[in-house]
């Protein structure tokens, strides 16, 4: 069921003024436009008709933008289905790498460089410490997902890594498992991660790959930038290892919550009144206490758009044994662990079947007579093809729209 308030409603009501008063990147403008048009006549769609009673309804097309809260469920289902063949019958661990708050502004003004560096430093850290015979002595694989927000939409770049508890022995004797309930020491991971990231950031600065403006303009001076590096190096960095998963089934359920998440879901939005947005959030510093926050619509949109990624940037990546080029080695791991290859049936490409698989709700049954089946009746071209300014309002009055992709 569609929630009563959506990010799209906020953008449609306040986006025009926001664009006029804020300097936005092309990517941010594209995201706003996509969310505003998603599942409206602007993108076209089709009409369905019941074969029993003749009831009609319209299904508008989705924007399929990865930042849109309404377009992730079906994309997530397809992605998770493809991951089934990669799961191993071992304990899985969840490791989080977080950038210190002092570097958040640097990351915000240099998203592509800093986020790529975050992936690279976390990957090298995990693989280096895991390969050390004093720890695991194994070549591992893992999946990493970039999140750039906290519960209140502030900029908070961090990586969620899901790691099988073991790997191929670097000495060549086969699969090597970690100790039950323990993967790698987080203090060792944190210190190596800190060094690798700051070395990479210094190299990027020396090569002129970083740019600074506004409140960070002073960092263009090498002395100021080096002072920043020294100050963050003197601090302990936060690397967190959560409790291990019980097995592959729990891993898949977890991935479903994290991989295709956007900055805020529509279900967390509570109200839009007097140009103010109220939403729910969890205060993790006080025992996951549920609370509410109210922001001006302008500030809400500003915070939401902080998390728009550069065009083409890959926010879900696989490393080591899980990398695409190492499929043969992953198959060897399954053989060493005695795991049989399970045939994976591809998900249906028919949106009605896929929607029912994901939500448990059928779009085929007629909502009016409850006995007939909804069949394709006619196509609707995108709004721009009609040349009429009120086509969307007319269509919405004639046909009740449904959620589809």
The mean pLDDT values, 10 residues at a time, for the chain of 405 residues are: 86 96 96 95 93 93 92 79 81 93 95 98 97 94 94 95 92 86 92 98 97 94 97 94 74 77 94 96 81 97 97 94 86 85 57 65 87 92 61 40 42
Where do we find the tokens 């191929």?
168
Where do we find the tokens 């690798």?
196
* Any domain includes 218: yes
Distance separating alpha carbons of residues 277 and 7, to the nearest angstrom: 10
Question: What is the number of domains present in the chain?
Answer: 1
CA angle 305, 311, 313 (to 5 degrees): 100
Ramachandran angles phi, psi of 162, nearest 5°: -110, 120
* Any domain includes 51: no
Amino acid 389: pLDDT: 43
Distance separating alpha carbons of residues 269 and 280, to the nearest angstrom: 7
* Any domain includes 252: yes
**Residue 56, by phi and psi: left (phi above 0), alpha (psi -120 to 50) or beta?**
beta
Q: At a CB cut-off of 8 Å and minimum separation 6, what does 373 contact?
A: 50, 51, 52, 364, 365, 366
CB-CB contact of 163 with 251 (8 Å): no
Amino acid 329: pLDDT: 86
Amino acid 354: pLDDT: 64
- What tokens were used for 233? 């190096």
* Any domain includes 139: yes
State the first-to-last Cα distance of the chain, in angstroms, to the nearest integer.
14
* Any domain includes 196: yes
Amino acid 265: pLDDT: 93
Amino acid 222: pLDDT: 96
* Any domain includes 150: yes
Task: From residue 174, give the alpha-carbon distance in Å to each of 166, 183, 248, 293.
Answer: 11, 18, 21, 52
Which domain range does residue 217 map to?
Answer: 89-263+306-336
Distance separating alpha carbons of residues 130 and 184, to the nearest angstrom: 7
The DSSP code for 372 is S
CB-CB contact of 307 with 157 (8 Å): no
Say what the pTM is.
0.88
Amino acid 355: pLDDT: 67
Amino acid 346: pLDDT: 58
* Any domain includes 131: yes
Count CA within 13 A, CB hemisphere, residue 289: 7
* Any domain includes 284: no
């Amino acid at each position: 069921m569609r929630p009563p308030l959506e990010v799209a409603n906020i953008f449609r009501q306040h986006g025009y003024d926001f664009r006029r008063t804020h300097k936005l990147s092309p990517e941010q403008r594209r995201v706003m436009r996509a969310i505003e048009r998603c599942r409206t006549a602007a993108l076209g769609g089709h009409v369905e008709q019941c074969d029993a009673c003749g009831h009609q309804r319209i299904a508008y097309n989705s924007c399929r933008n990865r930042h849109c809260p309404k377009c992730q469920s079906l994309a997530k289902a397809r992605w998770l289905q493809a991951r089934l063949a990669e799961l191993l019958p071992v304990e899985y661990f969840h490791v989080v790498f977080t950038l210190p708050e002092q570097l958040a502004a640097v990351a915000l003004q240099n998203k592509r460089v800093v986020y790529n560096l975050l992936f690279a430093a976390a990957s090298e850290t995990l693989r280096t410490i895991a390969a050390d015979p004093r720890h695991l002595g194994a070549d591992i694989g893992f999946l990493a997902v970039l999140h750039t927000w906290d519960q209140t939409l502030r900029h908070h770049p961090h990586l969620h890594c899901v790691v099988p508890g073991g790997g191929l022995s670097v000495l060549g004797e086969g699969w090597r498992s970690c100790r039950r309930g323990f993967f790698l020491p987080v203090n060792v991971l944190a210190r190596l991660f800190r060094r690798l990231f700051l070395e990479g950031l210094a190299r990027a600065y020396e090569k002129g790959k970083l740019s600074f403006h506004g409140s960070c303009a002073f960092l263009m001076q090498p002395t100021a930038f080096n002072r920043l590096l020294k100050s963050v190096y003197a601090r302990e960095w936060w690397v967190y290892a959560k409790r291990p998963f019980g097995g592959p089934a729990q891993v898949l359920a977890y991935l479903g919550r994290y991989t295709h998440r956007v900055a805020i879901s529509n279900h967390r939005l509570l109200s839009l009144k007097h140009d103010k947005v109220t939403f729910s959030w969890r205060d993790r510093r006080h025992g996951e206490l549920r609370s509410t926050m109210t922001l001006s619509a302008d500030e809400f949109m500003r915070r939401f758009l902080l998390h728009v990624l550069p065009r083409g940037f890959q926010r879900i990546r696989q490393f080591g044994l899980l990398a695409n080029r190492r499929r043969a080695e992953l198959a060897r791991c399954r053989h060493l662990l005695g795991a049989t290859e399970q045939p994976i049936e591809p998900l249906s490409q028919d949106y009605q079947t896929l929607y029912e698989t994901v939500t448990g709700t059928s779009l085929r049954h007629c909502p009016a007579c409850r006995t007939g089946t909804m069949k394709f009746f006619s196509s609707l071209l995108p709004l721009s093809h009609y040349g009429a300014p009120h086509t969307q309002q007319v269509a919405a009055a004639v046909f009740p729209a449904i959620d589809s992709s």
